[in-house]
Amino acid sequence: MVWRAAAVVLVLAGVVVGGVWVFQRHLIYFPDRSPVPAAASVLVGARDITLQTSDGLALGAWLAPPTRTPRHVAVLLAPGNAGNRAARTGLVQQLRSHGFAVLAMDYRGYGGNPGTPSEAGLARDADAAVAALTGLGYPLDRIIYLGESLGTGVVAALAARNRPAGVVLRSPFTELADVGAHHYPWLPVRALLRDRFPVASLMAASQVPAVVVYGDSDSIVPATLSARVAQVTGALIAEVVLTDADHNDPAMFGPDVARAVVQVAEHTAPPNP
């Protein structure tokens, strides 16, 4: 009976681990696949643009011009793993009010876009966003990457391929496996995970000026992981800790994040051309 019970436990464990292996991306990516409204209907003066990826996808995005004296600097907003760009309208407005143009992207599979998200796919999406901005007249030294949560993994890797003026990492993690191990300590996350997003190692090797922003009450990405990213970042400008802020609290999409982008711009971007 003991051996039979042990065998049943092993079989069940194998089923659970196998299921996690097969369906793991459903535990990482939570896209809102609903079509988003036209840019101009929610952001005065904004327009819809299409990002063309290297693997043939056409992705919808918003391009919003500044609403105050232009800095001639563009912000590439790379969102987290949930929702779509319609939820970032308030943050886009704040960035515009500081003189930035903003490209708010959605990854493949998000916001009515075709495709299925993965680490490699999101890298292609981000490359397409940079290509769109440079095609619109923003050279890399006049682009700032703003990554939220999972988007910090996207922009950390993007900065290694296409060096920008600077980056802002909001709620970064050291690597995705560390977040998974925190939430699923009973699973062999490090052995199972296919999408890695090694933020800390990328930022440690980077000389791109960066600001790290996180909440000290984050229940999704532990604050200790974000603090570790700040500690190892090779060209850290500032570490901004928001008191009593959880991962998706309004403060995490608010003025402090916009001011972090301003701080990067004032530290790095050359004078207006």
pLDDT tens digits for range 12-65: 444 444 444 344 455 668 788 888 999 999 999 999 999 999 999 999 999 999
DSSP symbol at 109:
T
List pLDDT tens digits, range 97-126: 999 999 999 999 999 999 999 999 999 999
* pLDDT value of residue 18: 46
Give strand pairing partners of 215. Answer: 242
Look-up: residue for tokens 């493949």?
A: 108
Which superfamily does 2-268 belong to?
A: Alpha/Beta hydrolase fold, catalytic domain (3.40.50.1820)
Structure tokens at 267: 């530290």
pTM of the model: 0.90
Predicted confidence (pLDDT) at residue 2 exceeds the cutoff of 90: no
In the chain, where are the structural domains located?
A: 2-268
Q: Residue 110 and residue 126: Cα distance in Å, rounded?
A: 14
Where does 170-222 have alpha helices with state H?
176-183, 189-192, 199-204
The answer to whether residue 154 scores a pLDDT higher than 60 is yes
* Length of the chain, in residues: 273
- CA distances from residue 266 to 71, 73, 86, 142, 242 in whole angstroms, order as listed: 10, 11, 28, 11, 21
d(CA 49, CA 152): 23
